[in-house]
Amino acid sequence: MSKEVLMNEDIFEKLPIGKAIAKLAIPTMMGQLSTVVYNMVDTFFVAKTNSPNQIAAVTLSMPIVLILASIGALFGMGGGSYVSRLLGLKEGNKIKNTSSFCFWVSVFISIPILIIGLLSLNSITKITGANLYDFNYTKEYLMVIFIGAPWIILSNMLIQIIRSEGNAKDASLGLIIGMVINCILNPALILGMGWGVIGSAIATITGNVINVLYYFVFFIKGRTILSISAIHLKKDLEVAKNVIIMGIPAALVPTLISVSNIFLNNLAGQYGSNPVAAIGIVSKVTSISIMLVVGLCQGVQPLIGYNYSSGNIKRMKNTVNLTVLISFILGIVCLALFAIVKVQIINIFIKDSNIISLGSGFLLFMSISLPILGISNIGMVFFQAIGKPIQAMFLTVARQGVIYIPLLFVLKNSMQLNGIVLAQPISDFITMIITIILYMSFIMKKKKEKENVVEAVS
């Protein structure tokens, strides 16, 4: 094994848990923060056109972008979960096979998606909930996004695979470099060239291209046990099964967010473009806290998976507990900040008094559940990391699907527009309770198994 891989094993096995979490999660959190900047920069500069319809177009297009990202997550998170467990079992050759499988399948799948997306552009634009005023803007944005679909898929796959061996620094650095390019191109193309939403989409795709090129260089340098070489692509049903089974819950997260956002946008769109624009801005603002928590949880996934497969259950449990505590503190800080300066935050994006009024109220509603988000997120990541797809999938479907979507309709009927916005935090609280029950049931089962082994030995 390379020196870098051995150093990563020291992080998994020997480093104090707090320091191990910091080393793995801080780069991942910064990487996720750069994703937030990606999206916020788009909204910020499109908002400078003073066109609510263009802001709405970016908001309406995001579910499609998330679906493309979910395809990358299917192979990235699925392969990453398996790689982390293989590291604990010292299975070097199978790790290379797994990472190569994830890369090449992502490449092969992305091409037909590009073609189908472009051929079905009108139908897809209608599905997003675009109306007469923002339809063409939405269609133009999505056209560029589908052209760059392979780069979005590969970027989201590679970052997760690289993280899985504990190399959070390089994984996040590629994302941050792409974010910087996006930040430079957005004002130049949207305002400087006057291209509006098309310029925003081009900047987004260019950032993803730079991400992928950086990761290619990473693999060429060979400082990893992973591989994307076709030489290591072997027929192995066990690899394919583990990647896909564990990848489905991960892919469901952005997919269900996309589906639920389509419902959200369609329901909010019944009240006009202003509520859609306000919800779009608020979603970008609250995503700061959400993506930091997601980054924290994703960062510790290799630590959880490695210690579970190597039998160090105590270290695994302590990792989960400390992660929940950190996420709670983070959520409290963000909730307090958003509550204090909610009007000023919305005012940064747009000067329209109606949207500022709507957005400031929405921001307070959508921030209520931020402190407890870490519980449901670490629950999903925990069950993915230890190879329990049913529990991981159940939590994923619960939060964004079977709980949230019905709540949207129920609360809309009883509370109108405010009910639509409150559906997500209420869904988060319900999912938190389910997560605690599932996690404690698993821990009690492991404790009982250990006691039975001790009794059998004695």
pLDDT (0 to 100) of residue 1? 46
146 or 238, higher pLDDT: 146
Task: Mention every residue, 6+ apart, whose C-beta is less than 8 A from residue 69.
Answer: 152, 153, 156, 254
Give the residue-averaged pLDDT of 318-329: 93
Write the pLDDT tens digit of every residue in 201-239: 999 899 999 999 999 998 888 778 888 888 877 777 888
Q: Considering the chain, what is the average pLDDT of its residues?
A: 83
How many other C-beta atoms are found inside a 10 Å radius of the C-beta of residue 445?
10
Give the residue-averaged pLDDT of 394-400: 81
Lowest mean pLDDT among 14-18, 245-249, 343-347: 245-249
Task: State pTM to two decimals.
Answer: 0.71
By residue count, the chain amounts to 458
3-state secondary structure at position 143? helix
Write the pLDDT tens digit of every residue in 416-432: 888 888 888 999 999 99
378 or 446, higher pLDDT: 378
Percent above pLDDT 70 for the chain: 93
235 or 114, higher pLDDT: 114
Which pair of tokens denotes residue 115?
């073609």
pLDDT (0 to 100) of residue 6? 46
